Amino acid sequence: MPASSVRRIPHSAIHPVCPDEYPGFASRPVKPVTRGDLDHRLQTAALRGFEFDRSPADSHGRFRVVHIGETLDLWTRDFDFGRVIWPMWPFLFAENWREVIDELAARKLYLFDIWAYCPSGPFERFEWSEYRVTDEIHDYIRSKLGGRFLGYDNGEQDGRYIGGYAKLVCPAPATREQGWEAFRQYFTQLGNDLHNYLTALNSLTFPHYFAQMGNHRMLGAETAQALPSVPMWYALIRGAGKQYGILWFGNASVWNRWGAKDLSKPNAEDTNAPGYWSGPTSGTSMSLLRRLWYVLTMYGSVLMSYEAGQLGSAKEERVVNGKRKSLPVLTDIGREYVRGIAWCKAHPDRGELHTPVALLWDFHAGWAPPRHLYTGETFLVWGNMPYEKGDHQIDLVLRELYPGYPDAGFYHSEQGFLTSTPCGDSFDVLLSDAPQQALARYECIVVLGETKIEGELLARLAAYVESGGHLVASAGQLGHGAARLFGVEAGAAAEANHAMIPDHPWPINEPRFRYTRLTWNPGAVLLAHTRQGDPLVVSKAHGSGGSTLLFAADRMLSNPVCSQEHIPSELDQPISSPYALLEHVKAVLLPHLRRYSLVEIDGPPIQYLVNLTERTDRLVVTLCNNSPQTWTGSVRPRGPGIKRALNWMSGKRLPGRDGIRMTVPPLDVVVVEFLLDGPAFEVKR
């Protein structure tokens, strides 16, 4: 891609997702939560359940919630954990359930993600059970809480579906559409039980589908635990939010694959007595919980929480509003939580995450990472169909953007939950049904997977390029009429084992790969080719300032380099791939993607985010060091010089004119505000 085809001062979308501005919002039967519903500020959640006078399961349905006021006081007044209540469902069936709702309404608290619905669990157990909310209960909650009722929990059900139900579909889907249909049926049932008034606490990579169903109010994820890599995952969640007009939240779990962090007795030894590990050193580490707070906040989460563990068993005397009270002590989790809330209050102008590049794949893809918690098998889409080459392409491109992302949940060291971001943490994922206005947010769109560029999608992408967008694809994705957009004509298939790349005099070696023979039309530019002159990468600048970049290699990948049979997935070991992303693809694509970042980072690999506000001379840069070694490097805004740099963690100014040199402690995060001597970007309206 010629550098000249990328604007010198980029146009960046900084407008936050406002669901009520999306077409059709007024007529939606289930409206996504709006920023107005949340009082236009970050909300936080802590209380996870109410106390009953007896076990609901033993009470024949005659039980009451007790200590309602005291419980709410503890979590929202004695400790300012926030205004969002996140309870388990049985209170809905207590004799005095109205009292709970009335009290929440009187205190103007939020009711969020009522949890523990579990398919096939008998209702009478009042635990992990199926329950159906009556019209009476649902209508009462809505009438009393209005927009402050944020929905019932679609909690980790995508993982449950993939792990427990997808394989039971007989016969297994033969087409992706059938895979989607089976998935949809499961969630239609769940939605119907819960008044189609849901919040999605994702555990896998299906947030778009929940948003598309039209019965969800928010999207989020149970991060950490043994679940997917967060930078990759939130690229999907943010993309779904932007595509469908729905806000997202952040949550970090105290669980990992082996057990849960329990700091209630900080000096206790860990134990596996309950059948899993539990104790101060079990579960998610404090450093990961801390990093997740800041990363998820800077991703634009409108509601934040830690799953549990804020309060200890011991008590201490404290003065609250002039009264002495005996209260539980704060644990390290509680302290970090309070600190995180205070930090957000002190820095309300965090801006929007800069995500100039969208990765786009087919709506029916059903893509999931090559391995995850819910199955011991690998390389599946929809939980019951094997990866095709395009799915491997998605995986391998993501491995370049988020190195080691498939390790999340598989390593004791927690590697993979957060990763370095060589091209910046600056990508969202869209699906092929994204409307024109969703595409228009992005400076660049990379088409991945088994996506066919034809018909309506071709029309939308052509319009996108004509309005100045930059489009990247591979020849195998060209459908009827698409070649012309890329300035080529597609011919027969051929094979090669090398490539000539820019700025390098000799052929570079590649694993053998198939490619489409291309002839390029006037105006197109050849960026890589075979020794015999066959084009491998063709760029075309469009009059509008937009451009296209086409890779001839099939899905940008080699032919299979090994059999899937020889790719084990084991704990504390990486997983390889039966394909390789070609070297000439890396040589052209990755620099192209890095060009959209507004900062340059020099130093060892690190995760970095850039947040923007309306002030075009201001950048907020988050550096998350996911390594156990201190990170030392420099941050340099592209273009203008630095007038002032302020470390938001320490409150100290950082010296430097063209760039700042700084350190980030091991497994920690630093956020720096840059004020520049000129605009770093123009606001895209």
Partner 1 sequence: MRMTRRELVTLGGALAAAEIGPEGFARADGGAPSPAVNPVFLTGRKTDWPLRELAAAGFRGLELTPDCLEEGGRAAAAAGLQVVAVDALPELRPYLTGSLSDAVAWRRRSTLDRLRKAMEWMGAHGASYLIVAPSRQAENYQSAQDARALLVESLRDLAGAGPSAVLLEAAPFRLFDRASEIASIVDEVAKPNVAAALDLGHTLLAGESPEAAARTLGARLRFVHLHDADVRKGFPRLDRHGVPGTGSLDRGEARAAIGGLPFAVSVASPDDPVGAAARTLKWLAQG
Contact residues toward partner 1 (CB under 8 A) are 118-123, 125, 127-130, 160, 164-165, 167-172, 174-175, 178, 185-186, 189, 377-380, 384-386, 563-568
Q: Give the residue with the Cβ less far from partner 1, 206 or 515.
A: 206
> Which stretches does DSSP call E strand in 480-582?
488-499, 508-520, 524-529, 535-541, 547-551
Residue 118 C-beta: closest distance to partner 1, Å: 6
Q: Give the residue with the Cβ less far from partner 1, 327 or 561.
A: 561
What residues contact residue 48 under an 8 Å CB cut-off, 6+ apart?
86, 87, 88, 115, 307, 308
CA gap 254, 288 in Å, rounded: 10
Q: Give the residue with the Cβ less far from partner 1, 164 or 639.
A: 164
Q: What is the 3-state secondary structure (H, E, C) of 24-73?
A: CHHHCCCCCCCCCCCCCCCEEECCCCCEECCCHHHCCCCCCEECHHHHHH
Q: What is the 3-state secondary structure (H, E, C) of 623-634?
A: EEECCCCCEEEE
Residue 225 C-beta: closest distance to partner 1, Å: 17
Q: Give the residue with the Cβ less far from partner 1, 157 or 625.
A: 157
Residue 96 C-beta: closest distance to partner 1, Å: 27
Burial-class residue 503 by CB neighbours within 10 Å (0-12, 13-18, 19+): exposed
Q: Give the residue with the Cβ less far from partner 1, 192 or 544.
A: 192
Q: Give the residue with the Cβ less far from partner 1, 381 or 499.
A: 381
Residue 395 C-beta: closest distance to partner 1, Å: 15
SS3 260: strand
The torsion angle over the Cα atoms of residues 465, 470, 473 and 475, rounded to 10 degrees, is 60
Residue 207 C-beta: closest distance to partner 1, Å: 21
Residue 157 C-beta: closest distance to partner 1, Å: 10
Residue 568 C-beta: closest distance to partner 1, Å: 8
Closest listed residue to residue 381, CA positions, set 394, 363, 369, 393: 369
464-467, long-range: CB within 8 Å, 24+ apart, which pairs?
464/436, 464/439, 464/440, 464/546, 465/542, 465/544, 465/546, 465/547, 465/548, 466/542, 466/544, 466/546, 467/440, 467/544, 467/546
Residue 272 C-beta: closest distance to partner 1, Å: 21
User: Residue 483 is which amino acid?
Assistant: A
Q: Give the residue with the Cβ less far from partner 1, 126 or 427.
A: 126
Under DSSP, the state recorded for 281 is: T
What residues contact residue 194 under an 8 Å CB cut-off, 6+ apart?
117, 132, 133, 152, 154
Q: Give the residue with the Cβ less far from partner 1, 526 or 567.
A: 567
Residue position matching structure tokens 């104790």: 279
Q: Give the residue with the Cβ less far from partner 1, 120 or 143.
A: 120
Residue position matching structure tokens 């943490």: 425
Residue 59 C-beta: closest distance to partner 1, Å: 17
